[in-house]
Amino acid sequence: MSLIKCENIALAYDGKEVASDISFQVNRNDYLCIVGENGSGKSSLIKAILGLIKPTRGQIVFGDGLKQSEIGYLPQQTAVQKDFPASVNEVVLSGCLNSSRAFAPFYTKEQKNKAYENMERLRISDLKDKCYRELSGGQQQRVLLARALCATKSILLLDEPVTGLDPIVTSDFYKLINEINVGMDITVIMVSHDIASAVENSTHILHLQHKQLFYGKTKDYLETDIGKYFSGNI
Tell me which long-range contacts 69-72 makes (C-beta under 8 A, separation of at least 24): 69/98, 70/98, 70/151, 70/152, 70/153, 70/154, 70/155, 71/151, 71/152, 71/155, 71/156, 71/157, 72/148, 72/149, 72/150, 72/151, 72/152, 72/155, 72/156, 72/157, 72/186
**Do residues 57 and 100 share a domain?**
no
Q: Is residue 138 part of a domain?
A: yes
Q: How many domains does the chain have?
A: 2
**Do residues 106 and 207 share a domain?**
yes
**Do residues 101 and 148 share a domain?**
yes
Detail the DSSP E strand segments found in the chain: 4-13, 16-26, 31-35, 57-62, 72-74, 155-159, 187-192, 204-208, 212-217
Q: Write out pLDDT tens, residues 33-90.
A: 999 988 889 989 999 999 999 999 999 999 999 999 999 999 987 665 677 789 999 9
Q: Write out pLDDT tens, residues 170-218.
A: 999 999 999 999 999 999 999 988 888 888 889 999 999 999 999 999 9
Phi, psi at residue 161, to the nearest 5°?
-70, -15
Q: Write out pLDDT tens, residues 154-175.
A: 999 999 998 888 999 999 999 9
The mean per-residue pLDDT over the stretch 10-15 comes to 89
For residue 1, give its domain range. 1-15+52-66
Q: Is residue 44 part of a domain?
A: no
**Do residues 133 and 185 share a domain?**
yes
Q: Write out pLDDT tens, residues 98-123.
A: 765 544 567 899 999 999 999 999 99
The rounded mean pLDDT for the chain is 90
Sequence-ordered list of residues with C-beta below 8 angstroms from that of 51, at least 6 positions apart, any chain = 68
**Do residues 87 and 156 share a domain?**
yes
